[in-house]
Structure 1
Amino acid sequence: MVTLVFVTLGSLGDIKPMVAIAAFAKDAGYEVRFATSPGHRRLVEAAGLHYEAFGSDAFFDQRDVREALVAPSTGFGTFMWHANLAELEELYGRLSEISEGADMIVGTPLVMVAHLVAGKRVLPFVSCAFSPAMVLREASVGAVDPYQNEWRSRLNALRRDIGLPRRSFPQMERFSADRTLGVYPACLRPARGHYITEPLEIGYPRPRLSLSPVDGALADWMGEGAFALVSFGSFVDRDAEHCFQSAVEACRQVGLRCLYVSKHSADYLRRGSGHDVRLEQFVEHSQVMPRAAAIVHHGGTGTLMESLCALRPVVITPFGLDQTYNAERVSDCDLGEVLDASLIDIASLTRALSRALSAWRRRRPLVVNTIAAVGAAPEERALQEIEQVLTSHKADSVRIGTASPTAL
């Protein structure tokens, strides 16, 4: 049986599309190993996949790190250091172990060691980009990686130790996949700019999961009247109380109650809530968004996809990383309102919500068309591309006599 190793790090929006592709591959008869950080184990196993522990997401629990992640110029470099560079050699060893006897690695540009393991084991490598911002040169303009010198020395030392040649810019080698898939909704394409590597854009697959019913108390609260869902996930720490109060008052100004979701600040903020406000650390967006009268979120690709599928007025408040690019595309396509996170206050958020609600009659057909543009199931398309790469690699390996037993 052909074995595929899926490996990814990041937030739920970075995990769910990979889970969808992996589950489809498993149903098609492939052996699948899914490697990611422990915080996502439940999701992986709920999809019926074999979970392998890889990396850590403990750094998300550090407030100073979360604040650094949304710094405009250094945020992505900070994420890559904590997710990859801090334990680079250990991650390489772990993924090499997970990939023993495998026939392919399916990873992302967020996992620095994926291309190294693939190169050392002579395995085909397919990479999934969750936003064009991941693979656009322009998205990096103005960005500063405070760890670039450490990346160069550590990566080249590791390459030397495992028998791979030195590179002048070894951090860029993570883009050297046999094929790169653009795993994002239609509204984010086509990207304007110059690709580091051009993706084959397939759409954003959503995993088919059996979900537990919505908590009874939350379901009762949602049924009591119209509300806006305000979901900033892990991103609001700095000025959390200000963002919360701005959201609550803006919702009141437009006649809505406020369901406020904040993973790290909900308990602290709950003291200031009223009868028309409910705070949660986590909700399943696919269950709650369709019931909201309006949605305010940070613009991450996964959250954006769920909000589009919910067919509700949207305000996006990008904090950083790929969110800024995603928000610009939403604005260009006239799918929702955009308010820079640094400008959040009662007045500006009230205006944005008012515009989103009043423009919904015009925008709804545009959102419907955007969802329809996905076409054939993205996970099916992804597997077709994976199979093409496997076939090509097998043919090349047979010619030079290096094919793995399971691939033949």
Structure 2
Amino acid sequence: MPKISEKGHKMPSSPIRKLVPYAEQAEKDGKTVYYLNIGQPDIKTPQIALDAVKIHSLDILAYTRSEGSENYRKKIANYYDKNHISVSHNDIIVTTGGSEALLFAFGSIMDADDEIIIPEPFYANYNGFSTASSVNVVPVISKIEDNFALPPIEDFEKLITPKTKAILICNPGNPTGYLYSKAEIKKLAELVKKHDLFLIADEVYREFAYDGVKHYSILQEDSLKEHAIVIDSVSKRYSMCGARIGYLVSKNKEFIQTALKYAQARLSPPTLAQIASEAALSTPDSYFTDVTEEYVQRRDLLISELEKIDGVKVAKPKGAFYCIAELPVKNSDNFAQWLLESFSYENETVMVAPAAGFYSSPNVGLNQIRIAYVLNKESLKKAVKIIAEALKVYKD
């Protein structure tokens, strides 16, 4: 029998999606399932984006340029300019989601067995992208006791080796919701300049910053012109996860030229999705004001309800729409599966994401879960009540 590759065997399963069969069975059994496991917002997609696809006048659904249509990239550059970030459309490559942007970035700056330092917990698919690129993740642990703030710079520096090529952050963070401050970004900027590394920032949640704190992009650091690579996406910003449109942004010309070769190899990003995404850029600012206000209310309700449960510790997010909660259980994988397979409260149950998959260090985060507060406040309150009742009877 032909053999599967070692890389294929090492490719991790998604901690977010692996419990789907159990959720589907729970629904077949007549239970209502509250999905807190995945960052699929229930916020409506801007109508202007949907209408753009409905009324397009294309006769042929043709390829666009490999780097994305010029008109769309110019409008993206205008979006950044409104956010006090100066970039040209030539500094942008449109990709099939932020996922492809990360893969292009990894392929452009790292070779097999090179290393990338990432504060953990981090977006679980960073593990998958690293495996697919034959790159080694070197984790630096941030702690729930510190609200998942940036670890001390000394912790990063002692991990740097000749194999280190980049540091990757998610800002605001998935799965923690932590928003890095301007001071923290400047510390990272000094470090990557000192060691001549790339700094990659996954900024797909940039619009969702709370409590009066403004998001500070690595692209606002003039000294990082040759070091900064931003990953961005329309998925969360406009509630357009299914569009699968993201982009790379960097002022490093050699990097952009290299990433373009990867873009050419996959031909072009999807045409209709670019039409929708271009139209979405005309969404009024009031949309984000309303959405942010809704997420803040959900966050405050969620944290308040979780803090009422004995033995639960929770970090307060400053952005995005996720939080990490530490539970009085030994293994949250087992608990999450048990919730779907064996438990219901008033014939309802909850699907959460076990947090161990958001770490690359073994045996870390085993008693943590990630909660995506992408449901309305009434549903969130019911979901936390179910978790509270489940913890009263659950035995490890």
Q: Fold conserved (TM > 0.5)?
A: no
Structure 2 length-normalised TM: 0.31
Question: RCO greater where, 1 or 2, for CA within 8 Å and sep 6 or more?
Answer: 2
Q: Write 1 or 2 for the structure with the bigger share of helix.
A: 1
Structure 1 length-normalised TM: 0.30
